[in-house]
Amino acid sequence: MRFLIVIHILLVQFSLTAQNYNGCAQNSPIHVLVLGSSTAAGTGPSSSDSAWVNRYRRHLQALNPQNVVTNLGVGGTTTYNIMPDWFSATNRPSRNTTKNISEAIRLGADAVIINMPSNDASSGIRATEQLRNFRTIKNLADSFNLLLWVCTTQPKNFNSATKKQIKIDVKDSIILQYGNYAIDFWNGIADSTNGIKSIYDSGDGTHLNDLAHRELNERVNNEFLPNQLSDTLNYPDFTIRLETKINLCGDSAEKVSAIVSNLGPTFLSAVSVNFEIVTGQQSTATALLLQGGINGCESDTVLFNLNSFIGGNYSVRAYLDAIDTISTNDTTNFVNLIRVGHPTLAASDVYYCPNDSALLSAVAGNGTIVWYDSAASLSSIHIGSTYSILPIARQTDLFVEAVRGPLHFKKTLNLSRNANVNWNGFMFYIIANDTITLDILALPVNSMGNQKIIAYYRYGSHKRVENTMLKWTYWGIDSSTITTAGEFANLNYSDLQLAPNDTFAVYLHLQNSNATLSYQSASSATASSDLKLTVPSGSGISNTFGTIYYPRNFGGIINYHHGFNPQGDCQSPREKVFLTESQPYLKLGKDTIIYGNDSLLLNQNGFSNHVWSNGDSTAQLTVSNSTFGLGNHRVILEAMDSLGCLNRDTIRIVIPLAVGLNKNHVTSIGVSPNPSTGIIKLSGLKNTTAGIEVFSIRGKSVYRKNTVREYLNLNHLPKGFYHLVVKQGELRKVKKIILN
């Protein structure tokens, strides 16, 4: 009987649960993630089953077994611990990268509930800091379409009225700022002294018991998160939202996704989705069809290709035709897409003149040209559109890239901390550990409205010149509209460069003498630093150049840049450029000898501006005894190729004294072997003997013998080329021989 009763109760609970949720809420699984401290972790109840998070998990899984509740609550957690991975704060708890909002995004949560009862107040973290942290988390959640609920603080039996007031201030602000997305964990739990009601106290004055956790669970249940996440109706209704990916450079076919969700009954007709793109003053619209309709509780995606390759500012929105009952959710807000754009690159292969430098050039559209010596090199060899290089090989490969954006590294030194002084002037100084350029300063301002911040600077410390205005240089004035006390103002004055070991002092004050900025009072001097900067404690200064209050700590942010980053923000593909030495070369041929009435035609077509050593300017030159005469002749030609490269070549031609040869010379005489080591066999002699004479390649007679039979011994001559003249009567035979 008891078993049946339990089953009956569970069925009733599911029935009551289901009737409060729409159809899509029952059929669409959701993932809810809880961030928080000891209450979320389950401290206080007699068993973990009684903790509100575990109760809530059972509640959602009764609605749909596929629903997931992930609990990342950890005792002692503060709002700083759950901040995004990229966040940092000096002298504040560090973020827990496995239990924070970034982890919730990584885990793919649909909704996040933050439950932070009292640890911030216990640590003396003021209300403005906590609320600023909540805003940062909310903004990040919004950017990922992640719904966020924030629970108020919870009562605690504090002895400190100040800490209790911090909790009350945070509670009131959460209810005011988050409205329907605030969950009240205070009213009804707190007694008249703002402590814990005795019926809800677990016994330590801090944590809540089983009964209180049951009440907290009911309050979370009454938010009806599944309905908020699905919002399904029993009549036709569609919603549309845009999804874009981070794409700094842009793309010729960047995908913009319109997610169309059917929150009502199944719709069988096609759905028309319109995309509107605004660029500058021009607006274009494109209609795409979602064929086949959409089933109830389902979504479909329409993809639009946005050509953002060249970069620019694109405002994009999507809207549906009037096909459903509620039209207010049929149009998205404009999403602003800022794209740097791919730089265009035009570079050509280069031919260069022999023994000369090569001049390379490339053109980038709105970018900087960067040259590399390899396809994968991280170190550039030149910056600029032209590059002159003396190649070390006849063919050399270089690589070129077009880059957009600054060629340096950006960095931020975040010195935000618990500001506990609101005053109208602050001086501090920076010690540069490297060459850096100051870009933007940010500091908290306590006074709301449009505030003008005046800046002075000097090279050197501010100490001992706090009251001497003549020692300071006016830097500029910038303004910022402050909507919440403690909000940061970004100050953009002219960039100033600091060299290694430079000391640079800054004085900031508000133009309105009644307004105040914020910083931290320190009991002793300290210093904050990163690898590039060091910021020692500064001084509060009465407006202007007035009373000195030391030590005080800067509670702002310093944005600066340093170094050389050839990659910039956006790059083109890296292209190969070939450097090739100009071809062809002038080739007059090998040195030679001509005899008798023979001649040699030197022909060098394909070149221009011919200049021969004899003064001729034609492409062809005939060398013979009649044109050059007997002797050793060095013929030189200079000519220009099609690229304008001046080529030069030389040939040595010998016209020897033995000029009595004629065309009827001996034709049957053979010489072997050739090449020879010096012993040469003569064959084909008509008589048994013959006379011989040997000439060097320069035409000099180096050996003569009047009577030679079958063999000739020339091994006494140096290795090289020779001409052998065989004489039999009036007949001659000339043979070129090689001795090796």
- Exposed/middle/buried for residue 215 (C-beta within 10 Å: 0-12, 13-18, 19+): middle
Q: Give the CATH number of the domain where residue 282 resides.
A: 2.60.40.10
- Exposed/middle/buried for residue 638 (C-beta within 10 Å: 0-12, 13-18, 19+): middle
Q: Give the CATH number of the domain where residue 470 resides.
A: 2.60.120.820
Same domain, 446 and 555: yes
Same domain, 515 and 380: no
Phi, psi (deg, nearest 5) at residue 568: 55, -145
What is the amino acid identity at position 659? V
> Which 3 state secondary structure label does DSSP give 547?
coil
Same domain, 396 and 380: yes
Residue 263 pLDDT grade (very low, low, confident, very high; cuts 50, 70, 90): confident
Residue 713 pLDDT exceeds 70:
yes
Residue 407's closest CA among 279, 561, 558, 288?
A: 561
Last residue of a domain, one of 339, 366, 392: 339
Sequence-separated (6 or more) residues with CB below 8 Å from residue 261: 238, 239, 240, 241, 294, 298, 299
506 DSSP 8-state letter: E
Residue 401's closest CA among 367, 350, 360?
A: 367
The 3 state secondary structure assigned to 560-620 is EEECCCCCCCEECCCEEEEEEECCCCCCCCCCEECCCCCEEEEECCCCEEEEECCCCCCCE
Residue 565 pLDDT exceeds 60:
yes
Last residue of a domain, one of 339, 365, 398: 339
> What local confidence, expressed as pLDDT, does residue 573 receive?
87
Q: How far is CA 583 from the centre of its chain?
A: 42
> What local confidence, expressed as pLDDT, does residue 499 receive?
96
The larger pLDDT score, comparing residue 697 to residue 394, is at 394
> What local confidence, expressed as pLDDT, does residue 15 receive?
36
Taking a C-beta distance cutoff of 8 angstroms, is the pair 36, 220 a contact? no
Treating both helix axes as pointing N-terminal to C-terminal, what angle do 127-143 and 161-178 enclose, rounded to 10 degrees? 30
Same domain, 120 and 45: yes
Structural domain contains residue 488: yes
Which whole number is the average pLDDT over 75-97?
A: 94
Residue 28 pLDDT grade (very low, low, confident, very high; cuts 50, 70, 90): confident
Sequence-separated (6 or more) residues with CB below 8 Å from residue 161: none
The larger pLDDT score, comparing residue 26 to residue 526, is at 526
Structural domain contains residue 660: no
pLDDT in tens, 312-346: 899 999 999 867 777 888 899 999 999 888 888 99
- Exposed/middle/buried for residue 732 (C-beta within 10 Å: 0-12, 13-18, 19+): buried
Rounded CA separation 241/334 (Å) = 10
> What local confidence, expressed as pLDDT, does residue 668 receive?
67
Sequence-separated (6 or more) residues with CB below 8 Å from residue 282: none
What is the H or E stretch that residue 114 is in? strand 111-115
Sheet containing 731-739: give its strands across: 701-708, 690-696, 720-728, 731-739
Domain residue limits at 634: 592-655
77 DSSP 8-state letter: -
300 DSSP 8-state letter: E
Structural domain contains residue 664: no
Same domain, 126 and 255: no
How many other C-beta atoms lie within 10 A of the C-beta of residue 23?
17
Residue 236 pLDDT grade (very low, low, confident, very high; cuts 50, 70, 90): confident
Residue 255 pLDDT grade (very low, low, confident, very high; cuts 50, 70, 90): very high
Residue 18 pLDDT grade (very low, low, confident, very high; cuts 50, 70, 90): very low
Q: How far is CA 86 from the centre of its chain?
A: 16
- Exposed/middle/buried for residue 39 (C-beta within 10 Å: 0-12, 13-18, 19+): buried
> What local confidence, expressed as pLDDT, does residue 16 receive?
40
Residue 661 pLDDT exceeds 70:
no
Same domain, 159 and 61: yes
Radius of gyration, alpha carbons of the chain: 45
Rounded CA separation 142/219 (Å) = 23
Q: Express as a percent the part of the chain with pLDDT over 90.
A: 56
Residue 652's closest CA among 707, 595, 593?
A: 593
Residue 8 pLDDT exceeds 60:
no
pLDDT in tens, 135-180: 999 999 999 999 999 999 999 998 889 999 999 999 999 999 999 9
Rounded CA separation 688/665 (Å) = 17
The 3 state secondary structure assigned to 359-381 is EEEEEEECCEEEEECCCCCCCCC
Residue 244's closest CA among 319, 314, 340?
A: 314
Inter-CA distances, 502 with 42, 435, 546, 559, 564, Å: 53, 9, 26, 17, 20
Domains in the chain: how many in total? 6
- Exposed/middle/buried for residue 284 (C-beta within 10 Å: 0-12, 13-18, 19+): exposed
Which whole number is the average pLDDT over 484-503?
A: 94
Structure tokens at 361: 């050039």
Same domain, 119 and 152: yes
Rounded CA separation 712/674 (Å) = 13
Inter-CA distances, 536 with 428, 486, 503, Å: 7, 22, 11
Rounded CA separation 736/695 (Å) = 10
Residue 700's closest CA among 657, 736, 735?
A: 657
Structural domain contains residue 496: yes
Same domain, 416 and 400: no
Structural domain contains residue 61: yes
Rounded CA separation 472/483 (Å) = 31
Residue 2 pLDDT exceeds 80:
no
Taking a C-beta distance cutoff of 8 angstroms, is the pair 657, 630 a contact? yes
Q: Report strand pairing: 299-306 vs 254-262.
A: antiparallel
pLDDT in tens, 407-430: 999 999 999 877 889 999 999 999
Same domain, 223 and 288: no
Span of 5-14, 281-290, 358-367, 594-603 with lowest mean pLDDT: 5-14
Rounded CA separation 156/114 (Å) = 18
pTM metric for this prediction? 0.48
Last residue of a domain, one of 230, 255, 275: 230
What is the H or E stretch that residue 348 is in? none
How many other C-beta atoms lie within 10 A of the C-beta of residue 507?
25
Taking a C-beta distance cutoff of 8 angstroms, is the pair 297, 27 a contact? yes
Same domain, 279 and 356: no
Rounded CA separation 668/614 (Å) = 38
Taking a C-beta distance cutoff of 8 angstroms, is the pair 401, 372 a contact? yes
Residue 4 pLDDT exceeds 70:
no
Taking a C-beta distance cutoff of 8 angstroms, is the pair 266, 297 a contact? no
Structural domain contains residue 400: yes
Q: In the block, which residue shows the tokens 């006379």?
A: 691
Structural domain contains residue 296: yes
Count of residues making up the chain: 740
Same domain, 130 and 39: yes
Structural domain contains residue 116: yes
Taking a C-beta distance cutoff of 8 angstroms, is the pair 441, 502 a contact? no
Rounded CA separation 94/349 (Å) = 54
Residue 20 pLDDT exceeds 90:
no
What is the H or E stretch that residue 208 is in? none
- H helix count then E strand count, the chain: 11, 49
Q: What is the chain's mean pLDDT, rounded?
A: 88
The larger pLDDT score, comparing residue 180 to residue 392, is at 180
Structure tokens at 63: 């609605």
Which whole number is the average pLDDT over 688-712?
A: 82
Residue 247 pLDDT exceeds 80:
yes
456 DSSP 8-state letter: E
Same domain, 454 and 530: yes
